Amino acid sequence: MLVRIPNVLSKSAVAEMRQLIDSGTWLDGNVTSGAQAAKAKQNAQLDDTSPESREAGNRILDALQSNPTFISAALPQKVYPPLFNRYEGGQNFGNHIDNAIRPVRGSDFRIRTDLSCTLFLAEPDTYDGGELVIDDTYGSHTVKLPAGDMILYPSSSLHRVTPVTRGARVASFFWLQSMVRDEGQRTLLFELDSSIQSLNTTHPDHESVVRLTGIYHNLIRRWADA
């Protein structure tokens, strides 16, 4: 399941974040790569130990905590501290699958990567190329979103970033461990929750709203690890 989450950050919040991270120290992107990814990856990454990275990451986490679409689609249990990358001058990231387990360097924090997140921080008309291409059983999906929008997708997916031939593609990327490990179960819960919210908007007093809400929570009790 691929889920687009619009307006995670407002345009003004994106501008403030870009001012913050653009002034930070950028390193070779392979600082966080596994052995397979390092062979395919060409980009720059904001030093994740820097105060700029930590401040920007905290702003993203704060925004996600109040985003109902993110909570419904991800059912997050643990979220990896957001990282930041930049592609320019032909840089790209070839086909790869994200590591199943992600530790935070210098700590005992680690997560199982159920879902991957890319939050776009540059407007699509400011650079050429740089599309995130995600493969699943239904084919390839090309993603290039407005600044402030985010795509959520299974970490088990084969994916890549096409070469950036003009301008710079800047984004935040991170992973999360969901309370519901199984992708099919998460998809059913998201579709059920979305239907309940739609029904609650059009028929708030309908008895089915209460009944379906009970079914939703009972399924979470059955399937959640938390």
Instruction: Please report, for the chain, the start and end positions of each structural domain, with discontinuous segments joined by +.
Output: 3-178, 183-223
pLDDT exceeds cutoff 60 at 162: yes
The DSSP call for residue 197 is H
Range with the poorest average pLDDT among 5-9, 92-96, 121-125, 204-208: 204-208
Whose structure tokens read 């994916």? Answer: 159
Least confident of 17-31, 111-125, 152-166, 179-193: 17-31
pLDDT for position 102: 95
pLDDT at 33 over 80: no
- pLDDT of 220 higher than 80: yes
Architecture (CATH level 2) of domain 3-178 = Sandwich (2.60)
pLDDT tens digits, one per residue of 121-156? 999 999 999 999 999 988 999 999 999 999 999 999
When pLDDT is cut at 50, 70 and 90, the band that residue 38 belongs to is low
Q: What is the pLDDT averaged over residues 27-51?
A: 81
* Closest to 56 (Cα-Cα) out of 102, 9, 99: 9
Q: Say whether 183-223 and 3-178 share the same fold.
A: no
- Of residues 10, 19, 74, 85, the one with CA closest to residue 48: 85
Question: Which pLDDT score is estimated for 35?
Answer: 56
* pLDDT at 36 > cutoff 70: no
8 A C-beta contact, residue 106 and residue 36? no
pLDDT of residue 40: 80
- Res. 92 pLDDT band, cuts 50 70 90: very high
pLDDT at 147: 98
CB under 8 Å to 208, separation ≥6 — which residues?
199
- Tens digits of per-residue pLDDT, 178-209? 999 999 999 999 999 999 999 999 988 888 99
* pLDDT confidence bin for 37, thresholds 50/70/90: low
| Whole-prediction pTM | 0.93
Judge whether 133 and 143 are in contact, CB under 8 Å: yes
pLDDT range class, residue 29, cuts 50, 70, 90: confident
Instruction: Give bridge partners of residue 4 from the DSSP assignment.
Output: 151
Contacts of 108 (CB under 8 A, 6+ apart): none
Contacts of 66 (CB under 8 A, 6+ apart): none
The pLDDT assigned to 34 comes to 56
Q: What's the average model confidence in pLDDT over 49-68?
A: 97
Query: What whole-number percentage of the chain has pLDDT above 70?
Result: 96
CB contact at 8 A, 171 and 122: yes
| Domain 183-223 part of CATH 4.10.860.20 | yes
